[in-house]
């Protein structure tokens, strides 16, 4: 990878395994908008960033070289060599091999744990456009103003401190529905220090997961999402309804319990299970496998 700054843009070249559409549309994050083909706007790290990908390069703007080094390299996981991992995974089985070929540009983002936690609490029983909507309402109402881009105001996702000012009815007004008290429970546990998200990063997968399960409305699926997308714990293999259908259809040819799927995934994909999940999810969802 090499990059340089040209005015307010960072131009990135020679990067393998990077496709902005696949990265954003594989279900790991919610605060992004498609501007046009290969052109997206994201809100992360209290910034509004556009990303334009062409055949030869990826342009991040507006961004300084400092932002790029301090924020975006880590956020987009740019220092990791995905080619080696993909080779390892592709040897596991033909289905995963196909899924990797289908979307070789997927990367796992390093997101903010708090935002990730609340976003996935919101995700239950909702479709992605709805989740995005609720996260936006909450940001607009409780988060800090970031910037106005193309006449649209953008707001950061509120901190636990900021969000704990919300009342249940405020969150219901943000269309959180029955999840409103769950969000407040998470606020309370984080704000009081009962659960310290910063510390989870340093705990082993199982221990961190057990801690997260103490939050109301956080079950195995949501815990795994947070562990994978915010804490870099790639042993996590979130099993949602899509992955269940996809795995049943590709690997089992019958109905199977969530537990069995998790067990199978750990055996089959090992320490890279989480990345395998992303390839299978994107592949299966785009092709509507099992639906």
Minimum separation from the CB atom of position 262 to DNA (A) = 11
By the rule CB under 7 A, 19 interacts with DNA: no
Single residue of 113, 143, 158, 238 touching DNA by CB under 7 A: 238
Sketch the per residue contact string, 246 through 285, with DNA: x for CB under 7 A, - otherwise. -----------x-x---------------------x----
- Binding to DNA by residue 98, rule CB under 7 A? no
**Rounded CA separation 109/3 (Å):** 19
Question: Which residues, 134 to 193, sit near DNA by CB under 7 A?
Answer: 172, 175-179
Under the binding rule (CB under 7 A), the answer on residue 221 touching DNA is yes
126 contacts DNA (rule: CB under 7 A): yes
Number of residues in the chain: 291
Residue 33 makes contact with DNA by CB under 7 A: no
Rounded CA separation 173/175 (Å): 5
d(CA 278, CA 281): 5
**Three-class SS state of 233:** coil
Q: Residue 49's beta-bridge partner residues?
A: 42
Residue recorded with tokens 């609340």: 118
* 218 binding DNA? (CB under 7 A): yes
Q: Does 125 bind DNA (CB under 7 A)?
A: yes
Contacts of 257-265 with C-beta under 8 Å, sequence gap 24+, read: 258/220, 258/221, 261/237, 262/220, 262/237, 265/237, 265/239
Compare residues 87 and 219 and give the one whose CB is closer to DNA: 219
**Could you list the residues that contact DNA (CB under 7 A)?**
27-28, 123-130, 172, 175-179, 216-223, 225, 238, 240-242, 257, 259, 281
């Amino acid at each position: 990878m090499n990059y340089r700054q040209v005015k307010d843009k960072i131009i990135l070249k020679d990067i393998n395994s990077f496709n902005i559409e696949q990265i954003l549309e594989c279900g790991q994050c919610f605060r992004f908008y498609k501007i046009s083909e290969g052109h997206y706007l994201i809100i992360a790290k209290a910034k509004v960033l556009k990303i334009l990908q062409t055949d030869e390069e990826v342009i991040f703007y507006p961004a300084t070289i400092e932002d790029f080094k301090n924020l975006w390299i880590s956020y987009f996981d740019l220092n990791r060599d995905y080619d080696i991992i993909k080779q390892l995974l592709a040897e596991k089985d033909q289905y995963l091999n196909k899924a990797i070929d289908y979307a070789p540009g997927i990367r796992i983002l390093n997101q903010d744990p708090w935002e990730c936690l609340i976003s996935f609490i919101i995700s239950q029983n909702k479709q992605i456009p709805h989740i995005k909507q609720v996260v936006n309402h909450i940001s607009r109402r409780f988060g800090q103003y970031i910037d106005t881009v193309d006449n649209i105001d953008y707001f950061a996702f509120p901190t636990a401190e900021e969000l704990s000012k919300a009342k249940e009815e405020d969150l219901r007004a943000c269309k959180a529905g029955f999840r409103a008290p769950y969000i407040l429970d998470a606020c309370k546990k984080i704000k009081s220090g009962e659960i310290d998200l910063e510390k989870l990063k340093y705990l082993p997968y199982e221990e961190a997961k057990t801690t997260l399960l103490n939050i109301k409305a956080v079950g195995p699926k949501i815990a795994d999402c947070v562990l994978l997308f915010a804490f870099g714990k790639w042993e996590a293999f979130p099993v949602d309804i899509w992955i269940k259908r996809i795995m049943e259809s590709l690997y089992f040819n019958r109905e199977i319990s969530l537990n069995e799927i998790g067990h199978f995934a750990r055996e089959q994909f090992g320490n890279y299970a989480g990345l395998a999940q992303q390839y299978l999810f994107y592949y299966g969802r785009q092709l509507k496998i099992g639906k």
